[in-house]
Amino acid sequence: GAVVSQHPSRVICKSGTSVKIECRSLDFQATTMFWYRQFPKQSLMLMATSNEGSKATYEQGVEKDKFLINHASLTLSTLTVTSAHPEDSSFYICSARVPGVPQETQYFGPGTRLLVL
Amino acid sequence: GENVEQHPSTLSVQEGDSAVIKCTYSDSASNYFPWYKQELGKRPQLIIDIRSNVGEKKDQRIAVTLNKTAKHFSLHITETQPEDSAVYFCAASIRGSYIPTFGRGTSLIVHP
């Protein structure tokens, strides 16, 4: 099956610093990837859709300048949390669509747990 | 936009019992309904899905039913086992869109 990886799996940083999270499709090319945020015991909240070679599409209420998304290749999308604050602490999960598979199917990465002190 | 409601938020059963999780959706244009299982601290994994041209789908101990008229769909797990304990999310995708709307999740606890 399709494999999506994320790095790092967890990160602890000081308030004010920036953190970059990578999402990779390992055995397929993903023209579209998605970034979700999940608070404890809550559902997945879509933050943005990452399109290879073009600007990301952000959901309403998500700050573009706060959460920078870059999809520079067909196998890599990055999410950078800029000037992180404690309220940014959360579980960030990416997913990708697989070409040739029913278009609605998404495969998720293992997630990145971010803790901002 | 689409709105997905999921119930119950928590479900506790004894090993061997059946478990049923129910979801409703608002947009009649939705035509794809996946279910995901997420164990603590891990990624959501697709366990079963159903399309609007089918009323029921089964895969071993897991089945999903869809009632398009009532706009609701359900996940049925029979002969539950402790390893079924996880959070289950339903989702709905509108025709032409590849972005699902997720329910709030159901925490299933199977007691041995």
What is the per-residue pLDDT for A2? 78
Best mutation target among B27, B43, B51, B88 (most A Cβ atoms within 10 Å) is B43
Span A43-56, pLDDT tens digits: 899 999 998 888 99
Whether residue A8 lies within 8 A of chain B, CB to CB, comes out as no
Q: How far apart are CA B5 and CA A87, in angstroms?
A: 26
User: CB-based contact (8 Å) between A34 and chain B?
Assistant: yes
A105 vs A71, more confident? A71
Closest approach of chain A CAs to the CA of B102, in angstroms? 7
pLDDT tens digits, one per residue of A55-77: 999 999 999 999 999 998 889 99
Q: Please state the rounded mean pLDDT for residues A32-37.
A: 94
Are the C-beta atoms of residues A87 and A66 closer than 8 Å to each other? no
Which two tokens mark A74?
A: 């067909």
CA distance A114 to B99: 24
How do residues B55-71 score in pLDDT, each as one tens digit?
999 999 999 999 999 99
Q: What is the residue type of B19?
A: A
Q: Is the pLDDT at A99 greater than 80, yes or no?
A: no
b/e map B74-97, b = 16+ CB within 10 Å = bbbbeebeeebbbbbbbbbbbeeb
SS3 per-residue string spanning B49-81: EEECCCCEEEECCEEEEEECCCCEEEEEECCCC
**What integer pLDDT is reported at residue A1 of this predicted model?**
67
Q: How far is the CA of A8 from the CAs of A19, B10, B99, B112, in angstroms?
A: 10, 31, 25, 35
Q: What is the pLDDT of residue A26?
A: 92
Nearest-by-Cβ selection for A43 from B42, B97, B105 = B105
Chain A residues closer than 8 Å to B98 by CB: 32, 97, 103-104, 106
Q: What pLDDT, on the 0 to 100 scale, is given for residue A56?
A: 93
Task: Give the pLDDT means over successive 10-residue stretches in chain B (112 positions).
Answer: 93 98 95 93 91 91 96 97 96 82 95 95
How is residue A87 annotated by DSSP? G
Question: What's the pLDDT at A98?
Answer: 77
pLDDT value of residue B69: 94
Residue B57 contacts residue B43 (beta carbons within 8 Å): no
Q: What is the pLDDT of residue A78?
A: 96
